[in-house]
Amino acid sequence: MIIRPRRLRRTPVIRDMVRETTISVKDLIYPLFVKSGKNIKDPIASLPGQFHFSVDTITQDVNEIWELGIPAVILFGIPDRKDSVGSRAYADDGVVQSAISAIKKEVPEIVVITDVCLCEYTDHGHCGIIKNGQVDNDATIEVLALEAVSHARAGADIVAPSDMMDGRVAAIREALDGAGFKDTGILSYAVKYASAFYGPFREAADSAPQYGDRKGYQMDPANAIEALKEASLDIDEGADMIMVKPALPYLDIITRVREQCLLPLAAYNVSGEYAMVKAAGQKGWIDAASVMMEMLTSIKRAGADLILTYFAKEAAKIIKSTT
Ligand code: PBG
């Protein structure tokens, strides 16, 4: 007798009934870049279909995102000026702070997450304060805490530290609580690898390190056990959700972290993963929309609950038309 698994693949309806993994629009978080100025909506060359917005134009886009059913955005700022300590990162009139208030006024219910890091704000492009030629961990977490509190003061629902300094989740939690923001959540980029897949983002955010690299603070792509350690440290320090980043080359890590973590788990489908699909799609070498859905499905199947992705709007439209 032959066992016949194909019986359950016979019709679209049967396949639908036995499908193990589905993506909901509610799983998606949309990254947005905001810069100072007015009336700006400039295409980002390295991320086809993505834009630099100014504070006045970003709200229109957020309206559209919300109408599509996407529950959250994550904001990245490109400041008007940079300095060695990234002081525009924690200025109450900074570009992200202004965008948060504008978005919260226009679409109060959408969840506003902010990337908390210094690389977009420092003139040297590193994610922290430089002392003796090195990124100084303990000086950096003080500044990150100021940044997180200023985002919370502007109305952010969740802050997302992406710097990979040790002890920053505890420092941010303490600072938020101390400033009266006990309900502001922390989505920690707990497991963030030193990845070449961030290339298009660094062009978009003008945040490439001017010298050296990020290997002294971001993780070695060869390490998996260390990922479990990073995840458990951030959980112990008080993270509300944690993230693995990038997503596709690290699906095994998503699965392993999911198995040991009792918090919602996010994965960041990063700029290089997006740009590769867009480029090959433009050349006609792949069917970009199908590849996109296959990739997003793989990230969920691996164990992610939430996906940060530049594909969010496109995927939302496909999900809506097929459900
Ligand atoms: C900031 C930060 C980076 C990304 C998110 N937050 C860049 C980096 O670490 O160099 C990358 C996101 C992407 O590639 O889409 N530290």
Q: What are phi and psi of 158, to 5 degrees?
A: -140, 135
Largest CA distance in the chain: 73
Predicted local confidence at residue 140, as pLDDT? 97
How far is the centre of ligand 1, averaged over its atoms, from the C-alpha of 282 (Å)? 24
Q: How many structural domains does the chain have?
A: 1
Q: Is residue 49 part of a domain?
A: yes
Strands 306-309, 265-269: pairing is: parallel
Q: Is residue 279 part of a domain?
A: yes
Where does the pLDDT of residue 167 fall: very low under 50, low under 70, confident under 90, or very high at 90 and above? very high
Predicted local confidence at residue 156, as pLDDT? 98
Q: Is residue 7 part of a domain?
A: no
Q: Domain holding 75: CATH number?
A: 3.20.20.70
Specify the length of the chain in residues: 323
Predicted local confidence at residue 158, as pLDDT? 98
Over its C-alpha atoms, the chain yields an Rg (Å, rounded) of: 20
| CA–CA dist 127, 109 (Å, integer) | 31
For the chain, give the secondary structure using H, E and C: CCCCHHHHHCCHHHHHHHCCCCCCHHHEEEEEEEECCCCCEEECCCCCCCEEECHHHHHHHHHHHHHCCCCEEEEEEECCCCECCCHHHCCCCCHHHHHHHHHHHHCCCCEEEEEECCCCCECCCCCCEEECCEEEHHHHHHHHHHHHHHHHHHCCCEEEECCCCCCHHHHHHHHHHHCCCCCCEEEEEEEEECCHHHHHHHHHHCCCCCCCCCCCCCECCCCCHHHHHHHHHHHHHCCCEEEEECCHHHHHHHHHHHHHCCCCEEEEECHHHHHHHHHHHHCCCCCHHHHHHHHHHHHHHHCCCEEEECCHHHHHHHHHHHC
Token pair in block for residue 155:
């109305």
How far is the centre of ligand 1, averaged over its atoms, from the C-alpha of 5 (Å)? 42
pLDDT tens for 257-269 read 999 999 999 999 9
pLDDT tens for 90-101 read 999 999 999 999
How far is the centre of ligand 1, averaged over its atoms, from the C-alpha of 186 (Å)? 17
Look over the chain and give the mean of its residue pLDDT values, rounded to a whole number: 97
Is the pLDDT assigned to residue 123 strictly greater than 90? yes
Q: Is residue 5 part of a domain?
A: no
Predicted local confidence at residue 177, as pLDDT? 98
Is the pLDDT assigned to residue 323 strictly greater than 80? no
Look at ligand 1, atom 6, and give the residue with the nearest C-alpha: 162
Predicted local confidence at residue 61, as pLDDT? 96
Opening angle at CA 280, ends 244 and 19, nearest 5: 55
Where does the pLDDT of residue 206 fall: very low under 50, low under 70, confident under 90, or very high at 90 and above? confident
Higher pLDDT, 291 or 207: 291
Is the pLDDT assigned to residue 69 strictly greater than 90? yes
How far is the centre of ligand 1, averaged over its atoms, from the C-alpha of 160 (Å)? 11
pLDDT tens for 238-247 read 999 999 999 9
- Name the active-site residue from 35, 104, 192, 313: 192
Domain extent, residue 187, equals: 20-321
Is there a contact between 306 and 30 (Cβ–Cβ < 8 Å)? no
Q: For the purposes of burial, counting CB atoms within 10 Å of the CB of 221, is it exposed (0-12), middle (13-18) or buried (19 or more)?
A: middle
Predicted local confidence at residue 54, as pLDDT? 97
Percent of the chain at pLDDT exceeding 70: 100
Q: Is residue 15 part of a domain?
A: no
| CA–CA dist 281, 192 (Å, integer) | 27
Where does the pLDDT of residue 220 fall: very low under 50, low under 70, confident under 90, or very high at 90 and above? very high
Of 149, 212, 203, the closest CA to residue 181 belongs to 149
Q: What is the mean pLDDT of residues 111-137?
A: 95
Q: What is the mean pLDDT of residues 141-165?
A: 98
Mutate to test the pocket of ligand 1, among 120, 162, 193, 219 (most ligand atoms within 8 A of CB): 162
| CA–CA dist 40, 37 (Å, integer) | 7
Q: Is residue 2 part of a domain?
A: no
How far is the centre of ligand 1, averaged over its atoms, from the C-alpha of 202 (Å)? 7
Is the pLDDT assigned to residue 322 strictly greater than 90? no
Is the pLDDT assigned to residue 276 strictly greater than 80? yes
Q: What are phi and psi of 221, to 5 degrees?
A: -55, -15
Alpha-carbon distances of 120 from 162, 188, 222, 291, rounded to whole Å:
11, 18, 27, 31
Mutate to test the pocket of ligand 1, among 74, 115, 201 (most ligand atoms within 8 A of CB): 201
Is there a contact between 250 and 244 (Cβ–Cβ < 8 Å)? yes
Q: Is residue 3 part of a domain?
A: no
Residue type at 232? S
Predicted local confidence at residue 185, as pLDDT? 98
Predicted local confidence at residue 11, as pLDDT? 98
Please give all residues whose beta carbon lies within 6 A of any atom in ligand 1, as ranges.
115, 117, 119, 127, 162, 198, 201-202, 214, 270-271
Q: What is the mean pLDDT of residues 51-73?
A: 97
Mutate to test the pocket of ligand 1, among 207, 215, 219, 295 (most ligand atoms within 8 A of CB): 207
Known catalytic residue: 192?
yes
Higher pLDDT, 323 or 214: 214
Q: Is residue 212 part of a domain?
A: yes
Higher pLDDT, 322 or 1: 1
